[in-house]
Amino acid sequence: MSHSHAPEYVLGTDAIEAKRLGLQHRLWSAAAHQLWELAGVRPGLTVLDLGCGPGHATFDLATIVGGASPDRAAHGRVIALDESAAFLHQLNETAAGRRLTNIERVLGDVQNLGAAFPNAAAFADIAYLRWVLCFVPRPIDVVAGLAKVVKPGGKVAIQDYFNYESMTLAPRHADFSRVIAAVARSWRSGGGDPDIVSLLPAMLRQHGFRVDHLAVNQRIARPGSMLWAWPDSFWASFVPRLVDKGFITAQDAGAFFAVWARASHDPDCYMHLPPLYDLVATKL
Ligand SMILES: C[S@@+](CC[C@H](N)C(=O)[O-])C[C@H]1O[C@@H](n2cnc3c(N)ncnc32)[C@H](O)[C@@H]1O
């Protein structure tokens, strides 16, 4: 277990962020399940959920790989890794409450999977990473680690961003766009990359993977729709952090929230959401 880099990821690990991740998972769970099916997730497999957060995807994966057969061989497991002890603690509490007994937790850095799994030859059938690679300074180290822990013939399934800064309110509004630019700046300042998916095909190929599937989920949200709650919850969690960290002023934040409040009641506007890419690769 390694913990040799900046201890907290840019969006934080407090209760507000934990709750936002739960809502976010629900709003994107159809896309996740579709990708898992494409990657071949099924009962009996060993699946890694890397950068699992409080475990919202982990629980769904554990239910699927656990199966319902009395045959022990059909009981798969999920190994959930995160650098946040707080998120892993929450994951553990929820798993116990839901009586999910096939989840193992690992406190570690996705950029150092060798330290997180020191004795393991390639053991994972599938590794899943959603909204993690865009935050890490050394994605190439993550891919190098994946090449060691995923079995030959096993899969990596990734959901992450390219062209994040295309997110906009429509019609555009300068007070809104200023904050989007600041969000991307803050990720970059922590070593992250809101364009990360563009770099993954080459990184994966260089580490012995074949990219089988690459597609994009481009969604929009209209005021009053279920998906409007996604950006809404993100602003509540993150815009105050942007002020605290000096990426925008309190006045910028005030102007942003005024635009957002008006937009939330304007049936003629919509949000062009950030493009979320799906990628499945096979370890050769
Ligand atoms: C946006 S959350 C996504 C959580 C989860 N994958 C999901 O889709 O709900 C990003 C997660 O990545 C974790 N994370 C960020 N950098 C990490 C690193 N270097 N090693 C392990 N976990 C990391 C954070 O602690 C956080 O739980």
CA 31, chain centre distance (Å): 12
- Burial (CB count within 10 angstroms: exposed 0-12, middle 13-18, buried 19+), residue 149: buried
5 Cα: distance to centroid of ligand 1 (angstroms): 14
Nearest CA to ligand 1 atom 13: 51
Q: Is a pLDDT exceeding 50 seen at residue 6? A: no
Q: What is the DSSP string of 62-98?
A: HHHHH-S-S-GGG--EEEEEES-HHHHHHHHHHHHHT
b (16+ CB within 10 A) / e for 119-143: eeebebbbbbbbbbbbbbeebbbbb
Is the separation of the CB atoms in 277 and 161 below 8 Å? yes
Residue 32 Cα: closest atom of ligand 1: 8
**Ligand 1: centre distance to CA 181 (Å):** 22
| 220 CA distance to ligand 1 middle (Å) | 24
- Dihedral angle of Cα 144, 146, 148, 149, to the nearest 10 degrees: 160
CA 46, CA 61: separation in Å to the nearest integer?
10
| pTM reported for the whole predicted model | 0.95
Specify the pLDDT at position 18. Answer: 84
The structural domains of the chain, ordered by start, are 15-283 (3.40.50.150)
Could you read off the pLDDT of 210-265 as tens digits, one per residue? Answer: 999 999 999 999 999 999 999 999 998 899 999 999 999 999 999 999 999 999 99
Model confidence pLDDT, tens digit, residues 31-57 = 999 999 999 999 999 999 999 999 999
Average pLDDT over residues 98-112: 96
Report whether 49 contacts 77 (CB < 8 A): no
Strand order in the sheet with 168-170: 168-170, 270-272, 220-221
Q: Is the pLDDT of residue 109 over 60?
A: yes
Q: For residue 192, give every residue at least 6 positions away whose Cβ sits within 8 Å of its Cβ, in sequence order, or none.
A: 10, 134, 135, 136, 137
